[in-house]
């Protein structure tokens, strides 16, 4: 049996997810948006780990590896977009991305 109850772990995951969602909705800087997405992905991974630990299944850890893989892919694509946005417009504002038609 784990020392931390499942409800506390899921509550922490929900709080992290809501904080990431709030950052995603309020920030206009692309770097902060990427960090908010990473926080949301980590919250989902934490929920998988908590569930897997509670039910004594390895599925939660396997899903966490998938979440880490998706987060790494998302970060690499996002940082590539961030670099191109900064090179072209000298700003990291997301609204500048609407001017990206070529």
CA-wise closest residue to 53 among 8, 100, 99? 8
Question: 22-71: per-residue pLDDT in tens?
Answer: 999 999 999 999 999 999 999 999 999 999 999 999 999 999 999 999 99
**What is the helix, strand, coil percentage profile of the chain, to 5?**
80, 0, 15
Give the pLDDT confidence of 8-31 residue by residue, as tens digits: 999 999 999 999 999 999 999 999
Entry pTM: 0.88
Predicted pLDDT of residue 1:
46
Q: Residue 101 — pLDDT band, cuts 50, 70, 90?
A: low
């Amino acid at each position: 049996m784990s020392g931390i109850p499942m409800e506390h772990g899921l509550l922490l995951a929900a709080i992290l997810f809501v904080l990431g969602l709030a950052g995603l909705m309020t920030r206009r800087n692309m770097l902060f948006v990427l960090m908010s997405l990473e926080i949301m992905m980590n919250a989902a991974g934490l929920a998988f780990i908590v569930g897997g630990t509670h039910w004594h299944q390895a599925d939660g850890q396997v899903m966490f590896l998938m979440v880490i893989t998706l987060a790494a892919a998302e970060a690499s694509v996002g940082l590539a977009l961030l670099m191109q946005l900064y090179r072209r417009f000298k700003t990291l504002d997301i609204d500048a991305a609407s001017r990206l038609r070529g």
